Structure 1
Amino acid sequence: METFWAELRLMQGLIAAFVLSGLIGWERERRNISVGLRTHILVGVSAALFVVLADTLIYRFADDAPQVRFDLVGVLGAVVSGVSFLGAGAIFSDRRGEGTKGLTTAAGLLATAGVGVACGLHLYVLATGATLLFLFTLGWLGPLLGERVRARQDAEDR
């Protein structure tokens, strides 16, 4: 029964990742971006799960196997590599080679993985603060910059 409660405590990080990643995904979904709520939740919770699993393995087996090296940093690197691979699939160029689309989506997936990692490490204040910064960047900064760019283009057209 003790194992059940210990695993339930580990779920806290995954639940926090679910909520915070969901907020980022909801912002993308609201803007009709194809990579939205479900994808961001899956990325955030997966990142948290990998960190929780690595931390648990280190805690459980570090004393039993001194010849085996446990490396949480390696797990973080693997999470970043995996999410970067997903992000690369979201990035594409237009046929004329004049523009690139999907960079913000790829960066958002990487940001969501970072939030998941922080939740997996039970750094909830850091994860919440990062989520708020990401939401500000995705939600408010874009329109602010968009208005500036439109004003500049209008001035050039005159």
Structure 2
Amino acid sequence: MESIHSQLWILLDVLIAAVLSAVVGIEREKKDKPSGLRTNMIVGSISCLLVAISPDLSQFMLSDVPMEMINVDPIRIIHAIIIGVSFIGAGTILKFKDENIIKNLTTASTLLYSAGIGISVGTKAYVIAIGLTFIIIIINSLHHLKKIQSFFTKK
């Protein structure tokens, strides 16, 4: 595993991911959505941690294996994060029996977006992570456009 100094930098990245994901979570809580502040913070920060430690983890776990036999694919950890977060997101989606209505799809996709923020911080793409945070806040603020769109599509 990395030195104490390197581990502290990883913890700082996890904190940055948690703060950026908290901004997203606060927006979700203000709209009284099922996955709010804590859920988005957890998803964003754990995504960052998994990405940040994956190179060292591979090296540590395979330290007794000759280098030519090691086939590490860094995309696998991102794939695992996406699968896990999608599973959590699926739990927030509700379909009502009596109506043809599905709710909380935006909340589920916002959780995946928070994972993207964490992955960005974990790969040291801070500008992208900050940009993603602003973009999702703007996207989630566009809900009032649905009312305008339905006005024009009414028959």
Normalising to structure 2: TM-score of the pair? Answer: 0.88
Aligned to 1:3: 3
8 Å CA contact 1:13–1:121 kept in 2: the answer is no
Matches within 5 A, 1:1-158: 3-58=3-58, 65=65, 66=67, 67-139=69-141, 141-149=142-150, 151-152=151-152, 156=155
- 5+ residue gaps, structure 1: none
- d(CA) in 2 for partners of 1:64 and 1:122? 29
* Equivalent position SS for 2:32: coil
Query: Is the CA contact 2:48–2:122 (under 8 Å) kept in the aligned structure 1?
Result: yes
Q: Structure 1 counterpart of 2:28, which letter?
A: R
| CA deviation vs aligned residue, 1:22-81 (integer Å, no higher than 9, x gap) | 000000011111210000001101111111120222455677632232221011000000
5+ unaligned residues in a row in structure 2: which ranges? none
What is the CA-CA distance between 1:102 and the residue it aligns to? 1.4
- Write the letter of the residue equivalent to 2:23: L
Number of equivalent positions: 152
Identity %: 32
Deviations 1:120-146 (A, max 9, x none): 11110011111111010002x111333
Provide TM-score, normalisation by structure 1.
Answer: 0.86
Question: Which structure has more helix as a fraction of its residues?
Answer: 1
Q: Given the superposition, is the C-alpha separation of residues 75 and 89 from structure 1 closer, same or farther in structure 2, using an over 3 Å criterion?
A: same
